[in-house]
Structure 1
């Protein structure tokens, strides 16, 4: 083969390897971001539930409104 053609082929193979590595890295990053989003979504759901309980007085018993025994 021609040396110029060999060099072009080598350059193309190098570029392809770089793009394949970049695609793998991006795939891993997207996977990790998906896990983070899922974790944060679950945490946000729990916080909303806790806020709703506080807002609507959930979790309180009638004893909470009584004055302490020393009054």
Structure 2
């Protein structure tokens, strides 16, 4: 193999190694982001359920609430 061809193959192998490393890093980032999204969706659903429960059964009749202190 000529020196130029060998250098070119070496450069391509280096680029491939960097791309494989980058791809692995991006895949890991996507996995972590999906886990965060899943966690946030669970939290959001819990908050929706709590809000629905409060709307259905408020602790106090809104008409009986005292006015705020600045009135």
**With CA pairs under 8 Å and 6+ residues apart, which has the higher RCO, 1 or 2?**
1
Structure 2 residue runs without a partner (length 5+): 62-71
Q: TM-score normalized by structure 1?
A: 0.79
Alpha-carbon distance in 2 for matches of 1:56, 1:29? 40
In the TM superposition, 1:1-71 aligns within 5 A as 1-57=1-57
Cα RMSD after superposing both structures: 1.5
Q: TM-score normalized by structure 2?
A: 0.79
Alpha-carbon distance in 2 for matches of 1:14, 1:28? 21
Structure 1 residue runs without a partner (length 5+): 66-71
